[in-house]
Each structure stands twice: as C-alpha cells, then as structure tokens.
Amino acid sequence: MNLKKYIYFLCILLLLAFLLFFHPFPVLADVERVSLTPELLQKKIKSPQLQEGILTLDLTYLEIDLTADNNEFKEEFYHQLQNYLNHSDKAIGLDFTHSLIKGDLMSSRLGISTVLSPEALPQNLTKTEREIIESNPQFSNQSIEPMNSVILFRGALKLNESKITGIIDFSNTFFLQKIESKNINVTKAIDFNNVQFSRKIDFSGSAFKENANFNGTQFQEQVKFNKVQFLGESIFNYSQFKQSADFSEVIFNKVVNFSHTSWSDTTKFISINCRDRILFSNSIFSGLVSFANSTFEKSIIFRNVYFRNTVNLKDVKLLGIMDFSNAEFLKDKAINIAGFAFDSDGSKVLGNTGEIARFMYLNSIEGNETVLRNFIQNFRDSEQIPDANQLEYKKQKLTKQQLSEKIIQTPYQDYWRLSFIQQVGHWLLLNILLLLSQYGTNFSLLLGVGLISIGYFGVLFWFVDRWRRRLPKPIVPNLYDIICMVSSGSSLLVIGTIEIFNSAEYPFITLLCLSLILIPIPLSLVSLMYEKGRYHDLMESSYFLLDGGFRQLQLLIVRLPIIPEFHFFRDRFTPLVWERRWNWLNYYDFSLNNFLKLGFNDIRLRDQHLPGFVSTLVWYQWILGILYIALLFWTLSRTIPGLNLLIYLK
C-alpha cells in the first residue's frame, strides 16, 4: 500500500510540475507605469544613463500627459528637454520604451531649428555630427537666406512598446542618430514629411491607426517596417531609400503611395497584405525587389517604373489589376512569376504589348502549368497576342527541358521501352517546332524557313532537270540559266537567312535543324542518281510539264505533283521549253506549287521515262509542304487575333 501511495504522490507532483513550467501565464494587459511629474523629470535630466555608448534620458515606463488640459506641464516638459538636449556638448538620446504619451509628440519642440549651411550650424555639434550634416545633399556652402530651415535632432530616439494617443509630428526633421520604434501604437496620424534619417530606423511590429506621411523622406541607412499595420493611408512618394528596406508582413489597409520613390538596394515586400491600391508609378528599383507570398486585393501600379534588377512575384495572389505599362527592365529575366495566382475573375496583369511577357520567367514548369495557362489566357483576354505567344513559347521550352532531363535520367535498360521511344519522339517534334516556328508563335521565322526551302528545291529541280550528262552529247544548261539560278537561289537563301537571324532565338541551331531536313535525303537521292547515270528515253525533254490552259495565281492544295492519268487532261500538258529565256522561273513556280500549294502555272511531273530518284525527290518536298502548310496555318491562328476562336476558350 505504501508503494502505491508513493506512486500516486509522484504522479501528482509530475502533473503539477508540468502545469507550472509549460502552461502559459496570462500576460498583463497594461504594464505598470509611473506618472511623470516636473520633479521626476528634473531627476531624470540630472541622471542620464549610458546606452550603447550614448547618454540617454531614461523616460521608460512612464505616463506622460502632454494634452491641452495639462498645458502647464506640457510647456515645462518641452522647455526642459529642449534646453537640455540642445545645449549639451554631446548628443543626448531619449528612451520612451513602454511609456504612454498622452497628446502630441513634436520634434519641433525637442530639436534645434537651423539651416544646413556652415554659418548657421550650432557651435556645440561634434565633429562626427558635422560630417554627417555636410555629407547630406541638402547641405550648402552658399548664403543661408534662401534656404529652408530644418529641425536638428541630435540624439537617438527609442519608442519601443510605447503608446501615443496624439499625433507624431516629426516633419522637416534631420535625425543624426538611429530611431528604434518597435511595436509602438499610435492612435492618431504620424507625420514624417521631408525627414532625413541618417542612421537605421526600425518600426517593426508597430500599428499606425491613422494616416502615415513619409512624403519626401530620405532613408540613408537600413529601414525596417516589417509586421507594421498601416490602418490609414500611407504616403511615401518622392522618398529615397539609400540602403535595404524591409516591409515584410505589412498590412496596408488603405491606399499606399510609393510614387516617384528611389530604392537603391534590396527591397522586401514579402507576405504583405494590400487591401487597397498601392502605387509605385515613376519609381526606380536598383536592387532586388520581392513581393513573394503577398496578396493584392485591389490594383498595384508599376507605370513608368525602372527595374534594374529582378522583381520576385513568386506565390503572389492578385485580386485586382497589376499594371506594368511603360515599365523598363534592365535584365531579360526580370519578373519571376512562379506560383502566381489570379484569385478573382477581375484579376489582370497589364503591360506594353509585345514586351512585358519577354521579361517574365520560370525556372521550372513543374507545378507552374496553371500559372502559365492563366497568364496566357490573361494576355489573350487583353488582346496582347504577342505576349501570350511569348509565354507559350517559354512554356514549351520548359517542357523540352523537363523532357530532356527525363531522357537523360532514363536507365539504359529502358531505352527500348515504348514509353521511352514516345518521349524521344515528343522531344524531337517539340525541338523542331521550337526551332522552326517557336512553337507556332513566330510567323517571321516560319517565313524565313519557307523562303530557304522553296529556293533550295527550285535550284535542285532545275539542276536535276537541266544537268543530264556531258558525254557523248552534253545536255547541260547555258551560262545565262546558270547565272540566273545561282543569283536568284543565293538571294532567296540570303533573305531567308536574314529573316531567321532577325527572328530566331538560336539562329545557328535553327539553320542546322533546317539543313538536316533539307540536305541529307535530297542530296543522297541526287548523288545516287548521278552515280548510276540516266539512260532512259526522252533524255532531251524536261521532266516537268506545263498546263498551258492556266496562267493565273491559284491555290492548289488538293493538287498532286504527278500528271493526271486520263488522256484528255494529259493532252493539255507540254514539257517545259528549255530554250526560252525565262524558263528558269518555272522551276521556282513548281517548287512554290509543290511546297506551298500556291503558284502561277500548273506545272507537274511526267510519269513516263522518269527516274525514281526524281519522283522521290518531288514527293519528299510535297510531304514537307503539307507539314509546312499545317504549321503555317497553326502559326497564323495563334498570331492573328480572331482567326481561330477556339484558342480563346478556357
């Protein structure tokens, strides 16, 4: 029994210990504060403390009544502090940590009013303070008459965990030391208009319940506004951030204005929540800027913004409009859109047509298929077809990259599996489409491919038809025909190549791909034919027959390259006359007919006394032509709005 009681007693002790050490104690709603009196203020002034190497007045855990009802103490408070702070040979800081300030807090009643010129500066400034002031762009060695005065605040200022019931008016103030204002609670407006911050400032975790004005403010060192709640309107226009700025996890409840701002270093707007419009018009971002994991419930405006580095929009949730109109980007990969979500029917991303999508990028297609699909649909809905096509091209490039990785990682034993063969086939087809037409999004590139193909086969057909033999009786073209064909073929080749270099992302690889399609099989057929020789009848007659009944531009999609079998139709076809001066043009006409199914004459291949190599060569071009036309129509349907309405269906 004793052992049993002992075990029960031990269990109770363990339970109590657990409750004692792991159960959170309730936090007191308000810290205990002491009311500041004139006597206590005098005592504080006479005994400043040394904090981080700076003499500081300890005004922590106080209740300071600066309301109009306590005007006598208010005037005494400001008079005593201003007199003490400004007549000291050393900078004196103020520490209001955990204090409650009832009424307004004004820098004009604490600092020195002066102008930034050598003659007007107070004589008791230290060398370091003078160097800070003289390094400021507003400092001038000229006459002091036309210059505006500023409020010089020499010491550090701490407002951590404090609460201020009135307004904070620090407008037109020059702070020489750092500002620490973590977790402050301000119930009225704050005014930091045209303020100079020479050292770091930290407003982390604070709550500004009314308007916050930082118009024209200069932040010379690091800025922290993370986890701040801006419940009123926020104004930062014409401000300058010389070093990094951190606005992570900020809540902007109303309109935010960052227009005409300058950001010189890394800028973080990570996980912010904007419940109203946010404006960055005419601003400059020199460093990285991140909006990752942020939510924009209304519009965010980047009109006329200059980005010198990357903009991170990873996992952004957009419910309104994001406008990049007339924005400029220094880098090709400037906008990271991984995980970007259009979270409402009215969500839109706008930008300069034909430009904005060029700067968007993803590192991988895995997990971003929906992102790309939504962006493509977004640009199609806005009739920004070039941007939609640009993203489609990037999407297929990422797909090719993914396929390449899968093929490389496939074990050797699986090379003969059907799934692997399908992957390789898909990879080859995708590469051809990307290189020759940028996956149906670049008509100019496809036009260059067509010009080279038509010219190449035209010269090849002319060579096969005219250069028959040299012995015993030469059957070769005359010098005029040779000059015409070489010059015209070279011209088409040069024009097509220029078009490819102007349109293709990788022009040399595109030309290599086109060469692999046009050169090996046709030249092999021609080489074999000349190696075996030609000993058929009608050696002095052309392989190509012309229908003399038609001389008009006509579309011949259903026409085959071989002469009809029915004798009534055959009688209308006569061989090309080699001796005619412009006969060499007929070979280009046949190449155009056979490849693009469009021509001025109905020229076909005879079916009697015809080498099989010539017939195979013609049919090879005809098959390539069918594929080219399909690719051409597909490209036109994607590049001309309204030509194919099916692509607009979601």
> Tokens for 480?
């005029």
- How is 5-23 classified by DSSP, letter by letter? HHHHHHHHHHHHHHHHHHS
Return the closest-CA partner of residue 468 out of 477, 459, 460: 477
> How many CB atoms lie under 10 A from the CB of residue 454?
23
Q: How confident is the model at residue 13 (pLDDT cuts 50, 70, 90)?
A: low
Residues 6+ apart with CB under 8 A from 67: 74, 102, 103, 166
pLDDT tens per residue, range 293-331: 999 999 999 999 999 999 999 999 999 999 999 999 998
Please, what is the angle between helix 443-466 and helix 507-518, to 10°?
Answer: 40
Three-state DSSP class for residue 180: strand
Distance CA 376, CA 636 (A): 17
pLDDT tens per residue, range 51-93: 888 889 999 999 999 999 999 999 999 999 999 988 888 889 9
Sheet holding 306-307, edge to edge: 112-114, 150-153, 173-175, 196-197, 218-219, 240-241, 262-263, 284-285, 306-307, 328-329
- For the residues 593-608, what does the mean pLDDT come to? 88
Q: What is the mean pLDDT of the chain?
A: 89
Return the closest-CA partner of residue 350 out of 363, 339, 370, 335: 335
Q: What is the DSSP letter of 235?
A: E
Q: How confident is the model at residue 17 (pLDDT cuts 50, 70, 90)?
A: low
> Tokens for 192?
């930091």
- Amino acid 490: pLDDT: 97
Asked if residue 609 lies in contact with residue 538, where contact means CB atoms within 8 angstroms, the answer is yes
Residue of higher predicted confidence among 416 and 397 = 397
pLDDT tens per residue, range 422-463: 999 999 999 999 999 999 999 999 999 999 999 999 999 999
C-alpha distances (whole Å) from 320 to each of 302, 349, 534, 545 are: 13, 9, 73, 65
**Full-model pTM:** 0.83
Amino acid at 614: V
> Tokens for 619?
């049919």
